[in-house]
Structure formats: C-alpha cells, structure tokens
C-alpha cells in the first residue's frame, strides 16, 4: 500500500454523554458526579477521526439522525480530513447516543442507544460499495448491524480491499465473517469472547491468536492495556510494549490505536513501527478527556515519538 492509499471506515456515530464520578454507582445507588460533557464519539467515528487526524486519505460510511447534533458531528468529521459523502442522514431517527460513566481511576462503562446507527443496513452498505471497492483497506467495528459488517467484508474481499476488524464491543462472530478478516484487533475481553481463552499473559495471547489464525485470519493484534499488544503474524508472535503515561480517561484509546495503526500500515510502515505509532497516538489520547476531543493530530504523534527517542 502506498502513501496515497485509500482507507474506508464503516461504523457508528454517537453523541457521548460523559459523567465523571468518584466511583461507578452500584445497583440502586445514586452518585453525584463532578463533571459532565457531551462529546462526539462512536467507535466508527472515533476510528475515522484518528485516521483522518493521523493523515489518512479516508472516507467514512455511517449514519446520523436528522437532528442538530448529527449535523454538527458531520461538520466536525469534515474538519478532521474525512470524506463524509457516505454519511447518510436518517429521517425520523436520532443520532446514536452513548451514556458513559468515568470513575476516579479513568475507567469507563458505557450504555448505548443505536438510533440512526441501526440504519446502516446491508442496503446502505450496497449504496456505498464503490467506496469500499476503491479503498485499499476497510476498517470496521461491531456497533453496526452484524449483517452489514458481513456484507461490507464480503464486498471488500471481492475487490481485494484489505479488511481490518476491531471486534468491539465483544460479540459472537460467525466463522463466515472471521474468514473474511485480514487483521483483527481484539482486546483481552474480546479475544476471550471469540476464542474461549482467557488472556492473562503472553502465552494465553499466543494461544488465543492461534485460534483466530485457524479461522483464516492472517494477522492478530491483541491489545493488552498497559502491557502493550500481542502481535501474531501467521503464528509468529511478539509482545510490543506501549508507552507509560498518566491516564485520566481511556475512552476511545482503543479507537485511536486502530485508526492510527491502519493509517501507518497504509503508509507502508513495517508492522512493528505501525504498532509503535498507534501506541503513541493512544498514549496521547488517554491523557485527555472525551472520545474525539482526545484524539491527537499527526504532528502531536510524531513529536511524542521523537521525544521517546
């Protein structure tokens, strides 16, 4: 893939309602929060923004509602260097919503209303098939209807477009879909849900990767939080450490990693360098709050890497 290689991202768009509080409420408990903000999010949009700000030539396939926030999100995506022509406005539906609690340790939990994201149907994918056919790589997640993810992956395979799947949130996947994936990027929880292997250490990660290779996936990247990632190419595995920073909010850290990683690969960076580039982008993101507000631009990633030596 060349420096001008094209990326298509297909996925969700949400308005994130984020409440920071000391600890997560237990069932029946009310906790008074310290800070509340509405920020643009959604795993698809976050990954598209991460790629756009990192310098990718990118088009985004997604859906917003016919509402004010959907309009503002589309404008912002355009400013983030993203071709939003394939972002559809769905009449009679609201833009997707994520209700997010962030606790004092920077951890989060999330509840979602899909809204317009549910309108990203196989028919919608078919309307934008030329975007997929004309791309060198297609990046997807699992906040869109599964049948649409399958339709897009099938279409990508027919047109030699590389398929990268970030299987988040954790969802059981068919062997039919897995066989169409070139690169998969689960975290530990998602890797366990896909393989049945609990990932506590590098050996577990290697065994989980082997299960995914056996399904037909050439490259497996299991993200391991503060321990970095386990990279396995056709069973040849290594752990690549991340950067140590003080995290205040991990929302969209994985999304930033994915968008930056694919951008680097499209620039033909070797796998190891692409992972380090993505680690740097994610390390910056966790030092900031919110999803898209936390995603760094290319100059920031390059400077961070330079400082690391």
Strands 229-233 and 219-223: antiparallel
| 41 makes contact with ligand RIB (CB under 6 A) | yes
> What secondary structure, in 3-state letters, does 81-105 show?
CEECCCEEEECCCCCEEEEEEECCC
Residue (257 or 304) nearer to ligand RIB, CB: 257
CA distance 43 to 56: 17
CA-angle at 218, arms to 244 and 255, nearest 5°: 40
| 222 makes contact with ligand RIB (CB under 6 A) | no
Q: Contact with ligand RIB (CB under 6 A): which of 251, 262, 280, 281?
A: 251
The neighbour count for residue 189, using CB atoms within 10 Å, is 13
Q: Contact with ligand RIB (CB under 6 A): which of 9, 42, 114, 209?
A: 42
Q: Annotated binding residue at 285? A: yes
Q: How many residues in the chain? A: 309
Q: Contact with ligand RIB (CB under 6 A): which of 291, 294, 295, 296?
A: 291
CA-angle at 191, arms to 190 and 197, nearest 5°: 125
| 255 makes contact with ligand RIB (CB under 6 A) | yes
Q: Is residue 128 helix, strand or coil? A: coil
Q: What is the DSSP letter of 34?
A: S
CA distance 296 to 287: 10
Q: Is residue 164 helix, strand or coil? A: strand
Which residues, other chains included, contact 224 with Cβ-Cβ below 8 Å and sequence gap of 6+?
187, 188, 199, 205, 230, 239
| 16 makes contact with ligand RIB (CB under 6 A) | yes
Question: Residue 255 catalytic?
Answer: yes
Residue (36 or 272) nearer to ligand RIB, CB: 36
Taking the complex as a whole, the smallest distance from the CB of residue 268 to ligand RIB amounts, in Å, to 27
Taking the complex as a whole, the smallest distance from the CB of residue 4 to ligand RIB amounts, in Å, to 28
| 98 makes contact with ligand RIB (CB under 6 A) | yes
Taking the complex as a whole, the smallest distance from the CB of residue 84 to ligand RIB amounts, in Å, to 17
Q: Contact with ligand RIB (CB under 6 A): which of 21, 89, 110, 248?
A: 110
Number of residues that bind ligand RIB (CB under 6 A): 14
CA-angle at 127, arms to 262 and 182, nearest 5°: 30
- State both tokens at 248: 């205040």
Q: Annotated binding residue at 279? A: yes
Taking the complex as a whole, the smallest distance from the CB of residue 112 to ligand RIB amounts, in Å, to 6
| 70 makes contact with ligand RIB (CB under 6 A) | no
Taking the complex as a whole, the smallest distance from the CB of residue 46 to ligand RIB amounts, in Å, to 5
80, 255, 273, 302: the catalytic one is: 255
Binding residues for substrate: 14-16, 42-46, 143, 255
Residues that bind ligand RIB (CB under 6 A): 12, 14, 16, 41-43, 46, 98, 110, 143, 251-252, 255, 291
Catalytic residues: 255
């Amino acid at each position: 893939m060349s420096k001008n290689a094209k990326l298509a991202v297909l996925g969700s768009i949400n308005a994130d309602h984020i409440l920071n509080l000391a600890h997560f409420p237990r069932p029946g408990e009310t906790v008074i929060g310290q800070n509340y903000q509405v920020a643009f999010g959604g795993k698809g949009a976050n990954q598209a923004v991460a790629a756009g700000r990192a310098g990718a030539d990118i088009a985004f396939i997604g859906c917003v509602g016919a509402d004010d926030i959907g309009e503002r999100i589309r404008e912002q995506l355009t400013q983030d260097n993203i071709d939003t022509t394939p972002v559809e406005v769905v009449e009679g539906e609201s833009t997707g919503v994520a209700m997010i609690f962030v606790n004092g340790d920077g951890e989060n939990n999330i509840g979602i209303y899909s809204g317009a994201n549910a309108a990203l149907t196989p028919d919608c994918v078919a309307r934008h098939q030329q975007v997929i056919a004309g791309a060198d790589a297609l990046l997807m997640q699992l906040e869109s209807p599964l049948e649409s993810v399958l339709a897009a992956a099938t279409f990508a395979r027919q047109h030699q477009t590389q398929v990268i799947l970030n299987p988040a949130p954790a969802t059981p996947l068919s062997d039919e879909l897995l066989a169409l994936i070139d690169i998969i990027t689960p975290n530990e929880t998602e890797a366990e849900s896909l393989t049945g292997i609990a990932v506590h250490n590098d050996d577990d990660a290697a065994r989980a990767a082997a299960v995914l290779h056996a399904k037909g996936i050439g490259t497996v990247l299991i993200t391991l939080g503060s321990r970095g990632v386990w990279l396995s190419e056709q069973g040849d595995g290594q752990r690549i450490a991340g950067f140590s920073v003080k995290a205040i909010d991990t929302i969209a850290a994985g999304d930033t990693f994915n968008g930056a990683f694919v951008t680097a690969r499209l620039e033909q960076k070797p796998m190891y360098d692409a992972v380090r580039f993505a680690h740097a982008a994610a390390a910056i993101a966790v030092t900031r709050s919110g999803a898209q507000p936390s995603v760094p631009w290319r100059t920031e990633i390059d400077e961070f890497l330079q400082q690391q030596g």
